[in-house]
Structure 1
Amino acid sequence: MVGWAIAVHGGAGVDPGLPVERQEEARRVLERCLRVGAAGLRAGLPAVDVVEMVVRELETDPVFNSGRGSALTRKGTVEMEASIMDGHGRRCGAVSGLTTVKNPVSLARLVMDRSPHSYLAFDGAEEFAREQGVEVVDNSYFITEENMSMLKRAKEANSIMYDYRVPAPGVDSASAGLEGAKVGLLMNGLRISVYAPETVGCVVVDSNGWCAAATSTGGLMNKMSGRIGDSPLIGSGTYACGDCAVSCTGEGEAIIRSTLARDVAALVEYKGLSLQEAVDYAIKERLDEGMAGLIAVSRNGEVAYGFNTIGMFRGCATEDGFMEVSIW
């Protein structure tokens, strides 16, 4: 028997000027979710049940970029995506392009458990949701005044807003805490803005040593309709196996290119690296010029974080009573 452990994230990268009240709000949400997950683990729930339960909590709270409060497309709508993976048997489910499903992570779970497939998207995913009787709401439920304001600013600047924070053009990168980073980054010719909501994720190892991971997001603010990021892609934004579980956040296109989550697991499985060594190597060597972060747990109860941004909203709890929530 191993001791259980849980980690959560609310996105990689934090504006150093983020108001203290917003920081504290994020901390409270993460701490509440850790307590929900820890209670489930103490009750003997398997890891895959706990990651779904915790990510549902994060999707319901508009503080982060998933479910209610999701980033908006150019059209002012949401297209949400999520994935879940049970390392005990490497079963997985993923969804993209959701516009009415209240909790995308739970639909991903149903894809895993009740369909012959691993991934459903757009109209097919919505149809499956109705067949399964999951809770659906009007698209307006997910849209907040804050995100409408962000979309307006993004359109005015012809900009994409990422899950991480980048200094605006003209800001000295060292003073902003990004020494050596590029200032005024572009993606496909569009400037990346300095503020955006954040993707969420959870990784768990239960008392049996079984690992699971789940990730959920609304994607990029002002994204093209139909864009799919790393969060629903097994091996990129989410991965779990017998050795560990990983959930990623940040520049989705870079995470996809690096198959970041699977690389962490492969370094543990094939190279024998410790979990933290694997995370550190993947963040340093696999992202090229991309910016991202991740959380991970191992079957032995280890917890590891890594990010190459200013900060990452994150927290963890373990069976021995340890709990922390951090940003920087």
Structure 2
Amino acid sequence: MLRSRLTLAAVALALFAAPAAAQEAPRWSFAIHGGAGVIERDSLTPEQDAAYRAALHRALEAGSAVLAAGGSSLDAIQAAIELMEDDPLFNAGRGAVFTAAGRNELDAAVMNGADLNAGAVAGLTTTRHPIAAARAVLEQSPHVMLIGEGADTFAASVGLEQVDPAFFFTERRWRGLESALRQQNLPIPERPVGAPGPMAANDLPAPPLNERKFGTVGAVALDSQGRLAAGTSTGGMTAKRWGRVGDVPVIGAGTYASNREGCAVSATGDGEYFIRASVARDICSRIAGGSTSLTAAQAEVDDALSLGGTGGVIVMDTEGRPSFAMTTSGMYRGAVSSSQPARAAIYGDEDLRP
């Protein structure tokens, strides 16, 4: 199973990025992901496929608009991820999965490669945009990571929008929780206060309930000033317990950026393995040691996920070349730059070159 997964990833590696020598270094560059997993052509209807591609393009447009106007890589990342946090297609913000207790607990992180400053939050329940909260931790606090009620309190204190927890509720994620808890023989909690009444099964929005993917969202960017940055946001894993926190807010695991090492990384997948292998930082170390971003990304993902689990990463280097690596059959992803038009992909055999 592992061998076939890595073989697929190696094929994808050859397809996803144009050779460095064939491209002029762009003035700015931007790439995003919306989760990796078992995403195959026969698992999405044409309408679902189109919906995801449209959502990816909206996020690319938001980020590229900032960068084209001379904005910072951090601003571009926040603009794109906030859109994805508001889109129920993704497991972030409105559309996040539920804990075993029936709550949405949200994590996010950002890192500025120019000065190695970082901000992260975990377990948010009332802050509409976790990526904005992570950015506020970076810029308006002396800390790197805040968690739980304190993180929401801090976000409110700096003026970030607060919402009722029911804002994040979506029916298909609730149904996914019910299914997961039944499989684990765990009790199903009461529906959250303020959530809408149950929907009929045939009224549920796409995609289908049996989707097997990781809907974490992320972005990496190089701005016109040469500053790299990375950001990631997630609702975590369905039916998580005991205050579980994954790799996303762990700087160096699911999120990392460093101009000195020449990379920005955002990850998606089985977070426990990304944490154990320090995937994002290790990719940067490989690049600093002379590997190309594409080779470093795939080698690190293959090594880390040989421990178990599946997932993928997006990487941006100092030349503005985006790279995509995965051990899965698909990853929602896209890229755009000042020299190349926006393009989006879903399945593992799609080529993102313009």
What's the TM-score, normalizing by structure 2? 0.81
Residue 301 (str. 1) matches residue 320 (str. 2): yes
Q: Unpaired segments of 5 or more residues in structure 2?
A: 1-24, 187-209, 348-354
Matched to 1:324, the amino acid is: R
Among 73, 83, 86, the alignment partner of 2:99 is: 73
Alignment partner, residue 3 of structure 1: 27
Cα gap change, 1:196 to 1:155, in 2 (>3 Å) = farther
1:1-328 aligned within 5 A: 2-16=26-40, 17-158=43-184, 195-196=212-213, 198-242=215-259, 243-269=262-288, 271-288=289-306, 289-328=308-347
2-structure distance, mates of 1:15, 1:277: 23
Cα gap change, 1:317 to 1:35, in 2 (>3 Å) = same
* 8 Å contact kept, 1:230–1:256: yes
2-structure distance, mates of 1:225, 1:40: 39
Q: Unpaired segments of 5 or more residues in structure 1?
A: 161-192
Cα gap change, 1:51 to 1:159, in 2 (>3 Å) = farther
2-structure distance, mates of 1:14, 1:40: 32
SS in 1 for 2:264: strand
* 8 Å contact kept, 1:73–1:225: no
SS in 1 for 2:178: helix
2-structure distance, mates of 1:227, 1:20: 35
Structure 1 residue 158 displacement after superposition: 1.5
Identity among equivalent pairs (%): 39
Alignment partner, residue 163 of structure 1: none
Alpha-carbon RMSD across the aligned residues, in angstroms, is 1.6
More helix by share: 2
1-structure distance, mates of 2:212, 2:300: 25
SS in 2 for 1:13: strand
The C-alpha deviation readout for 1:180-216, integer Å capped at 9, x for no partner, is xxxxxxxxxxxxx863551000000112221000000
SS in 1 for 2:305: coil
* 8 Å contact kept, 2:35–2:213: no
What's the TM-score, normalizing by structure 1? 0.87
2-structure distance, mates of 1:268, 1:197: 26
1-structure distance, mates of 2:174, 2:166: 11
2-structure distance, mates of 1:72, 1:278: 34
Alignment partner, residue 181 of structure 1: none
